[in-house]
Structure 1
Amino acid sequence: MIRGRHVGGLVYYLYGPGRANEHVNPHIVAGWRHPAELEPALRPDGGRDFRNLIGLLNQSVAALGDDGYREPVWHCAVRAAREDRILDDDEWARVAYEIMNATGLARDGDDDGVRWVAVRHADDHIHIVATLARQDGTKPKTWNDFYRVREACQAVERRFGLRVTAPGDRTAARRPTRSETEQARRRRWAETPRTALRRHVVTAAAGAGSEEEFFRRLEAAGVRVRQRISQRNPGEVTGYSVALPVHLNRQGEPVWFGGGKLAADLTLPKLRARWGSGNESGEQNRRANDISAEDRREIWDEAAAAASRAAEYIKASDDPGAAADLAGVTSDLLHVAADLLKDRRLREAAEAFDRAAREPYARIPPATPTGRGLRRTVRRLARSGATPRGGVLVANVASLVSAVAELRMLQGRTAQAAAARAAARCLREASVAVDPAVGLVAVDFPGRFMPPSGSVLRPSSRFAGPPGPATSRRPRR
């Protein structure tokens, strides 16, 4: 969902030609009143008179005054998949009513809900525009509105026989906004700052055993870090934000992203829970910073063996939930290996695997001995430095990724299984590129593990194709 301050400009845009004359026959298909009452009238010159519609949408906001939202305009674009049939106006109206009911902004039978309209100016999507002020003079709640929209979209997908999409379970990372994506393209950055920062944070967290080491690793990677200090307990760190040196606003100040704005599992409390699993002593950390070439090779060999043991553990487990912590550690291992080996395919695999790593709603799964052992190995690997003998590790990680894909399918999480499959495809290429002497064997999945992919009805603020770090022009995630 997108929030704004001025509903008039948005209405004019929806009824205008669009940026490339792509808007055709704009008209209202649903609203808080009958569409015929709300449709802007035609003027003698053939244009539209929007004054009545804009005035009605603003009326409740004006009545609420200073007690209302700073950004009272709520905008949600909903699009069908390219392969879906074309919905008619009545069906798109049903979609709009379902969404407004699910969010609680205008429930069925609630005459005092917010004022809203749904505008259609193309075959495959509509725009829902609402002003966030109830007609009884109170302020509506918008908490978790995105997830309520996802639930409504899934209900409509089933009802109309459209392509079914993944649930809004917070396993997907936060997507770059449209403005972030366009800015990255204008500046010819390989990826958006949000995407680059998420990769830096995940990699730093994977190699750290404490928050002090985490912040040091971020700064060493060239990331700006700002810690949030508790006002109640001075000296207590309650959160953090990160920024890229090249990403500045119009005032020349850094654009900061909190951990939760990157992904649900990257808040400081979630990271602290992760560091509590498989932690090492300060003496172990110091020894890891000064190792010989032989020690380095031993660490990489141990990491390869630990990945193999983790894959076997997942395959042998009768309880899909018993090995859930290994999915997150697999992501850590992928990110650390990609950072050390500087291989594009490994980086793509790590980022493709991203969604497969998380538990729904950012839950922390119970730690297993195998998971704790692999996490300790990943941290030692992160401190060891690169080695020319990385092919065996990559091949074993590919088998581990395959096991996670099967685990996610057994759990009924098809979107996460699809993410793991995409990572495995990248790893097939990476294992040979890293070490041609190492073949990658038996990493494909049986035919039954073919989850559907794609997206049907989704809020348009989530885009599937961000360009990818602002710090370099290397290939994107």
Structure 2
Amino acid sequence: MIGKVRRGGRVAGLLRYLYGPGKANEHVNPHLVAGWRGQDELEPPPRADGKRDFTRLTTLLRQPCAAIGEAERVWHCIVRAAPQDRDLTDAEWAHVAREVLHRVGLAPYGQEAEAVRWVAVHHGDNHIHIVATLARQDGGKARTSNDFYRLREACRAVEAELGLRRTAPGDRTAAKRPTRAEREQAGRRGWSQIPREGLRRQVVAAAAGAASPEDFLARLAQAGVRVRLRRRDDGEVVGYAVALDHHRTAAGALVWYGGGALAPDLTWPKLRARWRRTPQDELREKVATAARDAHDEQEFFRRLAEQGVLLRLRHSQTNPGQVTGYAVSLPGMTHTADGAGGGSGELIWYAGGRLAGWLTLPQLRRLWRTGEAGWTRAEREALYGQAAQAASAAAARIRDDPASAADAAWAAADALRMAATALGNPVLAKAAEEYERAARAGYGRIPAPSPEGVRLRSAVRLLALSGAMSRDTTLAGMVLVGVLASLVNAVADLRRAQQHAAQAAAARQAANRLLTQVTVSATPPAHPQPVRLLQDPPGQPGSTVREPRHGW
């Protein structure tokens, strides 16, 4: 059973619609099943022309608003049984309406003469409409705070009581769905995707690959997304909104969406929480970014300095003018009393190769000399291996310590998104989108950081720096997908144990898609046939190449 709440300001118009034929003559035998008084007393009588007379009912519903001098406000709730459920009787629907109003707090049991006035209309198709005016009969104000979540609780209680199909609790993990107006507007204008959904995908992708707020904003700008920041008086950013150039109001103004209007985990505080990292991770990402953006050695060193990275060069003993290596550190990255160095307070230096194998100076010089635009296959496979190890550790954390697994489950969403980008795999991209709900902690909570979650995010950020390799079919890429499938499967088991049905279903669907992808990729063709090149060199026998054994 599901419920939906709408608000309006014209009770008479709403009643006429509910008792009318509907938009496609779908309304059958409209009648009251319950009200704040007996439905026989409140049922609108027929007029001489056969239509209903709503004058008395409308007047009674409006009276509490008029008594306190407030404008008419209407609370409209649609409650619908699942298609697989039996047809409920009028008495059962009356019980549903009273339970909803009691749990929402508009008409608690025993307060029929003091609470709001309401009626419930049934016109077929196994659902009812509850119509209430938002003013109490005792002169108090009607409270509707968190009414959607209280409605979800009421629906679940009725499901258990009446033996109906069970639905998931309102745990605030679902992404915000586009409104009917947004869907219809996209259809009229021929847009390939609804702006709210398109923006959510862009923001999720930018957040997954970003290492800092500045990186996040730069990625959005690169994707063509408009960003508006909200700041406190001291200049600190506390929120943001995004928009698309083509989505404007009738007056030509941009339509802005705050992060929370896209998904529960895309608010600014939650984005900052997912960018938590260790000092070594921060240092590695700064060096990797400088290395990929630079064209030569001097530019690399300059970019490191611009990012606040401390640099120490190593020179040849036989040729003191020749630089043979480097080490880096960050201000404040010192030995403490709990670590090595006996609390000396000296800086901790990391050679490039200690951060990542491809960050040694000889490797970087080769990269700059050859002008390669991306990692070699061996370097990519090393990155895939690091990400796979981090994902495996996160899966182990989830299985061994479910109580502290929330951060690892959250980080898995970033891992899926970045793996899909790096491997150029649309199947992984679909799995990442399916998994998003399973990753979120319930009720808007920010998970406490865990070493496994921080490590996994650091690994996938390096993967993001590698860019996309379209349809990558390396064994290391396949291994990464297999490990991610195991990680997502662990999250599915976790959510099922927590009795979060919707999240468990989302994770299971994503895991099945990943496992199917691994199986298809690892299965050789039944009868591989040689494929002849379109043009063979003159006078030479036909050259042949075989179809690759593994393909996405």
TM-score after normalising by structure 2 = 0.73
2:421 touches 2:467 (CA, 8 Å); kept in 1?
A: no
The answer as to 2:178 corresponding to 1:176 is yes
Equivalent-residue separation in structure 2 for 1:142 and 1:428 (angstroms): 44
Note the 1:426-441 alignment, pairs <5 A. 426-431=513-518, 436-437=521-522
User: Unaligned stretches of 5+ in structure 1?
Assistant: 440-477
1:74 touches 1:131 (CA, 8 Å); kept in 2?
A: yes
What's 1:38 paired with? Answer: 42
Encode CA deviations 1:347-401: one digit per residue, 9 max, x unaligned. Answer: 2211211221011112222222111100111222222201324433222211211
Q: 2:220 aligns with which of 218, 221, 231?
A: 218
Larger radius of gyration: 2
Q: 1:307 aligns with which of 360, 366, 391?
A: 391
Encode CA deviations 1:268-294: one digit per residue, 9 max, x unaligned. Answer: 112222222456247336336447413
What's 2:137 paired with? Answer: 135
Change (3 A) 1:259 1:56: same
Equivalent-residue separation in structure 2 for 1:80 and 1:44 (angstroms): 35
1:392 touches 1:438 (CA, 8 Å); kept in 2?
A: no
Equivalent-residue separation in structure 2 for 1:133 and 1:227 (angstroms): 38
The residue identity in structure 1 corresponding to 2:499 is G
What's 2:467 paired with? Answer: 385
What's 1:465 paired with? Answer: none
2:398 touches 2:409 (CA, 8 Å); kept in 1?
A: no
In the TM superposition, residue 345 of structure 1 has moved relative to its aligned partner by: 2.1
The answer as to 2:236 corresponding to 1:236 is yes
What's 2:203 paired with? Answer: 201
In the TM superposition, residue 42 of structure 1 has moved relative to its aligned partner by: 0.5
Change (3 A) 1:277 1:76: farther
Change (3 A) 1:107 1:242: same
What's 1:470 paired with? Answer: none
The answer as to 2:408 corresponding to 1:404 is no
The answer as to 2:248 corresponding to 1:164 is no
Measured on the aligned residues, the alpha-carbon RMSD in Å equals: 2.3
In the TM superposition, residue 119 of structure 1 has moved relative to its aligned partner by: 0.9
Note the 1:435-450 alignment, pairs <5 A. 436-437=521-522
1:320 touches 1:410 (CA, 8 Å); kept in 2?
A: no
The answer as to 2:455 corresponding to 1:373 is yes
Change (3 A) 1:292 1:183: closer
In the TM superposition, residue 323 of structure 1 has moved relative to its aligned partner by: 2.0
1:25 touches 1:121 (CA, 8 Å); kept in 2?
A: yes
1:288 touches 1:380 (CA, 8 Å); kept in 2?
A: no
The residue identity in structure 2 corresponding to 1:84 is D
Change (3 A) 1:182 1:428: farther
Note the 1:263-302 alignment, pairs <5 A. 263-278=263-278, 280-281=282-283, 283-284=286-287, 286-287=289-290, 289-290=292-293, 292-294=374-376, 295-302=379-386
2:424 touches 2:468 (CA, 8 Å); kept in 1?
A: no
In the TM superposition, residue 51 of structure 1 has moved relative to its aligned partner by: 2.1
Secondary structure class of the residue paired with 2:287:
helix
Secondary structure class of the residue paired with 1:356:
helix
What's 1:54 paired with? Answer: 58
2:106 touches 2:143 (CA, 8 Å); kept in 1?
A: yes
Note the 1:324-343 alignment, pairs <5 A. 324-343=406-425
Change (3 A) 1:190 1:292: closer
Equivalent-residue separation in structure 2 for 1:393 and 1:354 (angstroms): 19
Secondary structure class of the residue paired with 2:239:
strand
What's 2:15 paired with? Answer: 11
TM-score after normalising by structure 1 = 0.84
In the TM superposition, residue 114 of structure 1 has moved relative to its aligned partner by: 1.5
Identity percentage of aligned residues: 57
Encode CA deviations 1:200-243: one digit per residue, 9 max, x unaligned. Answer: 2222111122222212212222222111123xx24222211112
Equivalent-residue separation in structure 2 for 1:430 and 1:248 (angstroms): 40
In the TM superposition, residue 35 of structure 1 has moved relative to its aligned partner by: 1.2
Equivalent-residue separation in structure 1 for 2:287 and 2:519 (angstroms): 33
Change (3 A) 1:23 1:343: farther
Equivalent-residue separation in structure 1 for 2:194 and 2:12 (angstroms): 30
1:3 touches 1:74 (CA, 8 Å); kept in 2?
A: yes
Secondary structure class of the residue paired with 1:108:
coil
1:40 touches 1:48 (CA, 8 Å); kept in 2?
A: yes
1:73 touches 1:130 (CA, 8 Å); kept in 2?
A: yes
Change (3 A) 1:381 1:118: same
In the TM superposition, residue 59 of structure 1 has moved relative to its aligned partner by: 2.6
In the TM superposition, residue 334 of structure 1 has moved relative to its aligned partner by: 1.5
1:27 touches 1:121 (CA, 8 Å); kept in 2?
A: yes
Mean CA deviation greater in 206-215 or 300-309: 300-309
The answer as to 2:255 corresponding to 1:252 is no
2:432 touches 2:510 (CA, 8 Å); kept in 1?
A: yes
What's 1:449 paired with? Answer: none
What's 1:360 paired with? Answer: 442
In the TM superposition, residue 133 of structure 1 has moved relative to its aligned partner by: 1.6
Equivalent-residue separation in structure 2 for 1:288 and 1:164 (angstroms): 54
Secondary structure class of the residue paired with 1:217:
helix
Equivalent-residue separation in structure 2 for 1:405 and 1:141 (angstroms): 37
Secondary structure class of the residue paired with 1:300:
helix
Equivalent-residue separation in structure 2 for 1:75 and 1:248 (angstroms): 29
User: Unaligned stretches of 5+ in structure 2?
Assistant: 294-372, 525-552
Q: 1:28 aligns with which of 29, 32, 57?
A: 32
What's 1:108 paired with? Answer: 109
1:320 touches 1:411 (CA, 8 Å); kept in 2?
A: no
